[in-house]
Structure 1
Amino acid sequence: MKSRPLPAASPPSSTADGKRRVPQPVWRNSSSTPSPGNKVHTLFPFSTAMLSRNQIRQAAIQYLYATSQAPETEQEQDEGIWDILMEPFRGDYCKLRAKAVSGHLTRDYPDKLRLFVTRARETADKLQHDPLTLPVRDQLQDLLVKEGEFNASLLQLKKALHEDPSNDRGTLSAACDASQELNTTLMQMRRRLLDALKDFPAYSSIWAPLISSCHKLQEINDRVNCIIHPDGRPSLAEMKKVVEAGQDADELYREAKTLGEEILRRRDELDAAINATLENYTPERVSAIDRAILRLGAYELLHRKDLPAPIVISEAIRLAERFSSAESPRFINGVLAGISKTERPA
């Protein structure tokens, strides 16, 4: 029987679909101005610090505004709104992940791969005379092919990260997913090869250099794997920013979505409390963004008694200062102070 020739791989380099449109939040679409003097903003960028309640409030406000522009929001459209709102967070996480996978997590991969290719060829040459080792040589060949694919995927990821001026999240995410999928496959293939080598103890001296190279490559792949499965890994500190960014994005989505949906569920009750407090001001005159801020503040005053009223009102004023007109902070303060006086008497 002849073994398949080892691949002559070159040395690795170091170097209108018919769906209904989802309404965009006003501060992500400068052509929309629900109230005079409205400012254009996005959510705060990622930080490795703990996710703040203010960030959750901002996401919930954007969701409430968007749904107010399409009251009969369906499930598909609802998720589309969240895709828009989460884009800044998920985009930052995607870039961090791409930089980690193509950069410091695999920085020594090219050198380690060169050494592995050399040792794999030397090992195959020494075993040509023994037909019993054919399955091992075939496994080794398959592994070299897959190593080449992984190296190419890293180069593609670097290209997507550094040469695409738009840094499109979809392109980066697809390239990163491809690298991580190959990473997982490589880890499994190496384990199978190392297990197969145990069946040939007579060649242990020949296997030794190859096994050493396999372990060094496996360490690199294990680092990349930590992004997917971070728990209990000793190298977690090396990718702390990436892991925390992903966790922050997931937490923001869960918390803001829960908050926004709970407010919508109680919308009639909250609007009744707001309208009862309005003086010389008809409910129809309240802008969509101010209505969203008032609903959030009213919800916290009525149903989050663990939050002190002054803090609830202060945070609502901050939201009005950031997202609404110059007159809005005073208006928001007056309405929520009236609700607090009724619902939380001293």
Structure 2
Amino acid sequence: MKSRPSPAVSPLSSTAAVKRPAPLPAWRNSSSTPCSGNNTYYSLFSIAMLSRNQIRQAALQYLYAASQTPETEQEGIWDILMEPFRGDYCKLKAKAVSGHLTRDYPDKLRLFITRARETADKLQQDPLTLPVRDQLQDLLTKEGEFNAALLRLKKALHEDPANDKGSLSAACDAAQELNTALMQMRRRLLDTLKDFPAYNAIWPSLISSCRKLQEINDRINCLIHPDDRPSLAEIKKVVEAGRDADELYREAKTLGEDILRRRDGLDAAIDSTLENYSPERVSAIDRAILRLGAYELLHRKDLPAPIVISEAIRLSERFSSAESPRFVNGVLAGISKTEHPA
């Protein structure tokens, strides 16, 4: 193995990736390479390729960060790595809440305010209706708070779209908390109205307006409990994004931590293939890529070696130096030959 300099670019920065033709993988002309007519082979891998790439890249970033961080401080690595994914989910949720899920809220709120005040005026002379009037006043106050929360959410979406300052997630959480409170208050009001049958003639318009607002809050509530309205198209994209982020975290964390547990054995396999090259000279990012590749070659028998090597080469092209792809190719090809001799 020829010696080579350490990467001159910042590891794990896509902007630092060297734009160059990919070197031919060691398995390009191997008999294990599927023939061009074997479409089933390629389609099976392409179905899950995007998700698999995301998981592997997240695990790679964890391996690199762990190699640069004292063990006592590694607990927070995943929180940092998942910030972009959670930020995307938060942005998607904020757009839904402040946009199409509440698009008709202002008009329905104005109508409810009018009807609530008219109802309160009609009940003013009857002291027994004080519970209804008090609940109406509390509900109007809470509606005002919710409306203000939606405005703050729109402002945060404009000023902090990536949630870098945390203001977007805070505004989103506040809106959802008020949304839940409103749903509970409206239910209590509707139950209270049943205790005053003498006024059944004036309740219908108030109840109708109240239920129309409740429909809006139900939509937002589906972001927390999507099974309540599984057919609501507006919710589907947001819910799936949240589930994808959670799944990515679980899968990448499991993969990354399993690799670290097997680190000594993987490093031994890597170092045994180095010829005229000191293990200490392998850069941190290349070591992380090689550990990931070696793990898949040695412990993932369901993954064909050609695919593992090719994916590792692509990672090195994106995250390491110009010499890295050839280096990674050579090391992993050596491990593959040892594990699967011809």
Change in 2 beyond 3 A, CA 1:283/1:266: same
Which residue of structure 1 aligns with residue 336 of structure 2?
340
Structure of higher RCO (CA pairs closer than 8 Å, 6+ residues apart):
2
CA displacement, residues 320-340 of structure 1 (integer Å, 9 cap, x when unaligned): 111011111111111111111
Contact 2:6/2:321 (8 A) holds in 1: no
Give distance in 2, aligned partners of 1:51 and 1:188: 41
Q: Which amino acid aligns with 2:63?
A: L
Aligned counterpart for 2:219 among listed residues 196, 202, 223: 223
Aligned counterpart for 1:178 among listed residues 151, 174, 179: 174
How many residue pairs get aligned? The number is 305
Which residue of structure 2 aligns with residue 56 of structure 1?
55
Runs of 4+ in 1 over 6 A off after TM superposition: none
The TM-score with structure 1 as length reference comes to 0.84
Change in 2 beyond 3 A, CA 1:158/1:282: same
Which residue of structure 2 aligns with residue 36 of structure 1?
8
Q: CA deviation at 1:165?
A: 7.5
The TM-score with structure 2 as length reference comes to 0.85
Q: Which amino acid aligns with 2:265?
A: E
Change in 2 beyond 3 A, CA 1:235/1:132: farther
Which residue of structure 2 aligns with residue 73 of structure 1?
71
CA displacement, residues 281-338 of structure 1 (integer Å, 9 cap, x when unaligned): 2111111000000000111111111111111111111101110111111111111111
Which residue of structure 1 aligns with residue 39 of structure 2?
none
1:329 aligns with 2:325: yes
Gaps of 5+ in 1: 1-32, 43-48
Give distance in 2, aligned partners of 1:287 and 1:234: 49
Q: CA deviation at 1:41?
A: 2.0
Contact 1:223/1:235 (8 A) holds in 2: no
Equivalence map 1:76-115=2 (5 Å): 77-115=73-111
Contact 1:34/1:289 (8 A) holds in 2: no
Aligned counterpart for 1:135 among listed residues 116, 131, 135: 131
Change in 2 beyond 3 A, CA 1:55/1:169: farther
Moved more, 197-206 or 317-326: 197-206
Give distance in 2, aligned partners of 1:328 and 1:157: 45
CA displacement, residues 38-95 of structure 1 (integer Å, 9 cap, x when unaligned): 56228xxxxxx9961111111111111111112x322xx3232222211221111111
Q: Tell me the SS of whatever aligns to 2:226.
A: coil
CA displacement, residues 192-251 of structure 1 (integer Å, 9 cap, x when unaligned): 110111112221120000000111000000111111111241453112221122112111
Q: Which amino acid aligns with 1:120?
A: A
Gaps of 5+ in 2: 16-47
1:120 aligns with 2:116: yes
Give distance in 2, aligned partners of 1:73 and 1:157: 38
Give distance in 2, aligned partners of 1:334 and 1:151: 61
Moved more, 284-293 or 231-240: 231-240
Equivalence map 1:300-311=2 (5 Å): 300-311=296-307
Change in 2 beyond 3 A, CA 1:37/1:164: closer
Change in 2 beyond 3 A, CA 1:51/1:173: farther
